[in-house]
């Protein structure tokens, strides 16, 4: 096995394990801050029903907190100020980490095969 193959195999393994850890963090957020954000921004509980919807909710709210254009698109530009800055940073970090993990996972798989 060449060194480039070893690199991509380790990148694939790191990204896969990172995604599992990311899902565990989403499960923790689903029971804590996601419920609070849903109550303040959307006035309904949709994303905290199960883990699949929680992943979508974390990514959507991360996008809303990161981009004012998307917040305006979802009609949450004024409401997003109701959420504290620490929680906003957590959701932004979750969005960026998801994108980085998926880039690592798919690029290592595509380049290898």
Q: CA-CA distance, 46 to 66, in Å (whole number)?
A: 21
Nearest CA to 22 among 95, 108, 79, 82? 95
Please give the pLDDT value at position 112: 58
**Is the pLDDT reported for residue 2 higher than 90?**
no
pLDDT digits (tens, 9 = 90+) for 10-23: 889 999 999 999 99
Q: Residue 89 is inside which H or E element, if any? A: helix 85-112
**Is the pLDDT reported for residue 113 higher than 70?**
no
Q: CA-CA distance, 95 to 92, in Å (whole number)?
A: 5
pLDDT digits (tens, 9 = 90+) for 52-108: 999 999 999 999 999 999 999 988 999 999 999 999 999 999 999 999 999 998 888
Domain ranges of the chain: 3-112
pTM reported for the whole predicted model: 0.88
């Amino acid at each position: 096995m060449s060194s480039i193959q070893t690199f991509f195999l380790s990148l694939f393994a790191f990204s896969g394990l990172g995604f599992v850890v990311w899902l565990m963090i989403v499960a923790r957020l689903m029971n804590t801050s996601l419920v609070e954000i849903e109550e303040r921004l959307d006035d309904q509980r949709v994303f905290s029903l199960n883990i699949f919807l929680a992943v979508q909710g974390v990514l959507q709210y991360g996008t809303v907190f990161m981009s004012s254009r998307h917040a305006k698109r979802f009609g949450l530009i004024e409401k997003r100020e109701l959420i504290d800055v620490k929680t906003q940073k957590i959701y932004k970090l979750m969005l960026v980490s998801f994108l980085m993990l998926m880039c690592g996972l798919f690029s290592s798989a595509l380049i290898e095969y």
